[in-house]
């Protein structure tokens, strides 16, 4: 037996999380229990159809089973870009009207990969500014989605002055 890869660990993680046996997952995915066991125990990922059936059986997405689908903070022309609401607290704070005043903020993104029992955290600090209207069309093409959801069409950028981060590993 080889050591399981990320795909195998994710199958095991989702199966355990749902408290399912190999046989129950196999039945849900219309495959043999031996096949599910082999996928959990060996490196590599199967064909797309198998991934689709397993994701449905494990009540997750194909992306999540393959280790993707995480939101990523966007970088555009060397600045962090995010979306927020017009008239919201961030918008109001940046409209001080005082010449030469910059609002410094920190923006942190954390990711935990439960299947691999590890994660990372990145903190970006720097002045925040409205993205000017003449740049908004370019930035909107960068596929920036609002992390808080809802109707948020105001683009804000942070010019990073300091970036720190760390990785975490479990036992």
Tens of pLDDT, residue by residue, the chain (171 residues): 344 567 888 899 899 989 999 999 999 999 999 999 999 888 777 888 999 999 999 999 888 888 765 555 777 788 888 888 888 888 888 887 778 788 899 888 888 877 778 888 889 999 999 988 888 778 776 667 766 667 788 888 898 999 999 988 875
* Residue 166 bridge partners (DSSP): 121
pLDDT at 59: 93
Task: Compute the half-sphere exposure of residue 124: CA atoms within 13 Å on the CB side of its CA.
Answer: 17
Tell if the pTM clears 0.95, that is, is over it: no
- Nearest in space to 3 (alpha carbons), one of 116, 160, 171: 116
pLDDT at 141: 67
Domain at 74-169: CATH architecture? Roll (2.30)
- Return the beta strands (E) in the chain as ranges: 74-76, 79-84, 103-113, 118-130, 154-158, 162-169
Residue-range domain boundaries for the chain: 6-65, 74-169
pLDDT at 2: 42
CA distances from 74 to 4, 17, 54, 131, 142 (A): 32, 31, 31, 14, 8
**Structure token pair of residue 62:** 């194909």
Task: Compute the half-sphere exposure of residue 76: CA atoms within 13 Å on the CB side of its CA.
Answer: 20
Superfamily of segment(s) 6-65 = lambda repressor-like DNA-binding domains (1.10.260.40)
d(CA 26, CA 36) in angstroms, rounded, equals 6
Residues 6+ apart with CB under 8 A from 2: 41, 42, 43
Q: Cβ(107)–Cβ(80) under 8 Å?
A: yes
d(CA 105, CA 24) in angstroms, rounded, equals 49
pLDDT at 30: 94
pLDDT at 102: 85
Q: Cβ(70)–Cβ(111) under 8 Å?
A: yes
Number of Cβ within 10 Å of residue 13's Cβ equals 21
d(CA 112, CA 90) in angstroms, rounded, equals 27
pLDDT at 170: 74
């Amino acid at each position: 037996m080889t050591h399981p890869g990320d795909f195998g660990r994710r199958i095991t993680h989702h199966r355990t999380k749902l408290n399912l046996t190999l046989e129950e997952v196999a039945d849900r995915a219309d495959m043999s229990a031996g096949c599910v066991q082999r996928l959990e125990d060996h490196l590599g990922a199967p064909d797309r159809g198998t991934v689709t059936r397993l994701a449905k059986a494990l009540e997750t997405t194909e992306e999540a089973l393959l280790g993707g689908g995480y939101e990523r903070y966007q970088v555009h022309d060397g600045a962090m870009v995010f979306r927020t609401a017009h008239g919201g607290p961030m918008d109001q704070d940046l409209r001080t009207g005082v010449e030469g005043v910059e609002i410094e903020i920190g923006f942190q993104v954390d990711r935990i990969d439960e299947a691999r029992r590890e994660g990372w955290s990145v903190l970006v600090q720097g002045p925040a500014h409205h993205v000017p209207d003449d740049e908004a069309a370019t930035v909107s093409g960068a596929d920036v989605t609002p992390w808080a959801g809802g109707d948020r069409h105001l683009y804000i950028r942070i010019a990073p002055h300091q970036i720190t981060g760390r990785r975490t590993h479990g036992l």
